[in-house]
Chains A and B, each alone.
Chain A
């Protein structure tokens, strides 16, 4: 009986979340997790800010081809995106110890101008409920998640940019 009671809230949550479809993550704030950025500085994820402009959080890894394709594609447009909307992209690496030292050389060699966070043991990934990379979240100027997308195929970046434009207008 006790076990049965445990399932009630889970089922409620599950139902609640699926009924919202595309807005699964909508209206939420970023949970607070202490991790480090690529330079080794301590970061509290909840304190991420961008002067009231939108922020893109993109979970990726050096071994994930679609992730790198997404971030390389955005990198070509990033200057324009920033100019038009003031958006900032934070690329959260979920590389573990096997590949974590590859992150900085890869990022610098490709010339990405993103903020890079290191989620070495998956704490932030778990806190945000990320199943697989690539997983991208868009946060508006008030720190609320307004869009999220799991997967990347060419063209998804344009969909993301439409949502950034919308968030920047607010």
Chain B
């Protein structure tokens, strides 16, 4: 009976929502339908149903401080590349909550993040099939301005089979943050801004292992600081995880750490960021035997640029190595001022980025891996070896020439260690590649514009050279059409010099959009925000409908 209350509330909200303005209903719908053909040349398969469908409908209701909502999901069956256990139709997320000035609570499902997320982050990244929503209780207290305490307690979403399937284990955590610039008016008008935070997270698991005596509770804790002075910022976070033997780390009993230091400077026309990260043994899952992106309690950001040009984004993308890495990144934005000889009438934007990651050093002398404590090595903060995981140097220059023309060029150089992050079966060791991109846009009239992209990837390894050409025609504000061809012209096997030709068209109605795509899609790695999922090759029709209300 209890289950009926929520929909009833929602129903009344729709009925009355129009007369009384106070209650608000928001939400969205997203549906992806695919009709798939078999294509043995590119390795695309046709499921026995021939068609697949993923669908999501989220509804939020809020009235004053009260909130409730749910998301209905369908996998009939799921789109290829999603976990096979996703199936059926049902409620995949539901919550009720209340927000007051000093107290905010949510019961049921919720998403939350402590600090930079390296200790705890529950989030949804639908395109990657990731949803580790918590199911339990979340409380956020603000006893006085500038002081926030968050507490979370619950199980974590693992799967979906006509309903939410949660982890067996529990995740509990508490996080406190003090912002000294508003806390008790301590640094009220100071140009120096500082906030500090501390977190503690613990998981409970009932893991059985024939060989090892698994800990039932695994704790992690850490602190962070954010400082700002005029145009400078400096922030850091350090997390320690206690012994957590798992499939990922080979069931060792070492502690783990994650450290992130970030500094920056910015003014009009110039922005600089430098970042350094040291990670060791930081895979942290509710179930120690889980793999892939399942049941991850924390989020370890990859220190790399999120590339958008097709060849740079999908062929050799880097994902964080939770087992251990030492990584650095520097990013510089510069705008050559407008109305100068070099900058032109509108100015010119330049972005230079450098990112690299190495294997950390593991000291094993004096450590007996066979002794009963199973601490198998020692390592320190930022102790890097010469073994390269990844290097990415890229530069982009963008310029608006006049009211009609815009031009951008971009160059990338990648050194990618395929033994560490396996993206291809056709090469071993470091794959070095160069990528060049030219992007030109022409605005024909107020409503019509055309854009073209030419990309080339050059490498002596793996599948050899690639070229991509894209033409996009836009009619504002309702239509877009695009055709793209990806051509593996440099493949050493003549029969595998494949054209991946794909066409798409979209129609936009305010906050609704329908897009139809037809063609071949290459097998590859699809990444968002440094988290990646392998996507199988497909050949066929895709229709995507999204709407928000």
Report which A residues bind B (CB closer than 8 A).
2-3, 5-10, 12-14, 16-18, 20-25, 27-29, 31-32, 34, 39-42, 62-65, 76, 96-99, 101-102, 104-111, 120-123, 126-132, 135, 144, 147-151, 153-156, 158-159
Contact = CB atoms under 8 A, between A and B. Distances in A.
Given A12-B11, A13-B549, A40-B193, 11 more contacts: A10-B57, A22-B510, A24-B548, A31-B60, A42-B179, A76-B346, A108-B270, A109-B333, A109-B349, A129-B60, A155-B448
A154 B226 CA distance: 38
Contacts of B29: 14, 17
Contacts of A127: 26, 60, 62
Given A98-B529, A123-B111, A131-B30, A105 B264 contact: yes
17 contacts: A6-B91, A13-B25, A24-B547, A25-B511, A63-B529, A97-B117, A97-B529, A101-B273, A101-B275, A106-B333, A110-B333, A151-B477, A154-B474, A155-B443, A155-B447, A158-B446, A158-B476
A29 B28 CA distance: 16
Contacts of A132: 546
A59 B195 CA distance: 26
A149 B449 contact: no
Contact of B301 (A6, A16, A39, A98): A98
Nearest to B27: A129
Given A24-B510, A151-B506, A120 B7 contact: no
Contact of B195 (A20, A40, A110): A40
B370 interface: no
A65 B306 CA distance: 11
A8 B4 CA distance: 11
A154 B547 contact: no
Contacts of A2: 3-4
6 smallest beta-carbon distances between A and B, as pairs: A105-B271, A155-B476, A17-B549, A153-B474, A63-B306, A108-B266
B327 to A, nearest CB: 12
Interface in B121-157: 121, 123-124, 140, 145
B275 A105 contact: no
B112 interface: yes
A155 to B, nearest CB: 3
Given A97-B117, A99-B529, A150 B508 contact: yes
Given A98-B302, A110-B349, A135-B511, A154 B476 contact: yes
A130 B27 CA distance: 8
Contacts of A6: 3, 6-7, 70, 72, 91
A101 to B, nearest CB: 5
A32 B266 contact: no
Contact of A155 (B117, B272, B474, B546): B474
A5 B26 contact: no
A3 B443 contact: no
A170 to B, nearest CB: 16
A150 B510 contact: yes
A17 B545 CA distance: 14
A22 B513 CA distance: 11
Contacts of A16: 14, 549
Interface in B519-536: 529-530
B477 A155 contact: yes
Contact of B449 (A5, A28, A62, A154): A154
Contact of B124 (A5, A97, A122): A122
Interface in B351-367: none
A40 B178 CA distance: 11
A121 B231 CA distance: 25
B24 A150 contact: no
A102 B21 contact: no
B10 interface: yes
B42 to A, nearest CB: 27
A31 B548 CA distance: 14
A78 B231 CA distance: 24
Nearest to B450: A154
Contacts of B182: 41-42
A123 B104 CA distance: 13
Interface in B282-313: 299, 301-303, 305-306, 308
Q: Which of A22, A106, A147, A151 has the most CB of B within 10 A?
A: A151
Contact of B511 (A12, A24, A121): A24
Q: Which of A7, A21, A39, A154 has the most CB of B within 10 A?
A: A154
Interface string B307-347: 01000000000000000000000010111000000000010
Nearest to A159: B477
Contacts of A5: 4, 7
Contacts of A62: 306
Interface string B14-47: 1000100110111111100000000000000000
Q: Which of A6, A22, A62 has the most CB of B within 10 A?
A: A6
A62 to B, nearest CB: 8
B542 to A, nearest CB: 15
Contacts of B189: none
A129 B29 CA distance: 8
Contact of B477 (A12, A121, A156): A156
B472 to A, nearest CB: 8
A107 B231 CA distance: 13
B480 interface: yes
A31 B62 contact: yes
B494 interface: no
A106 to B, nearest CB: 6
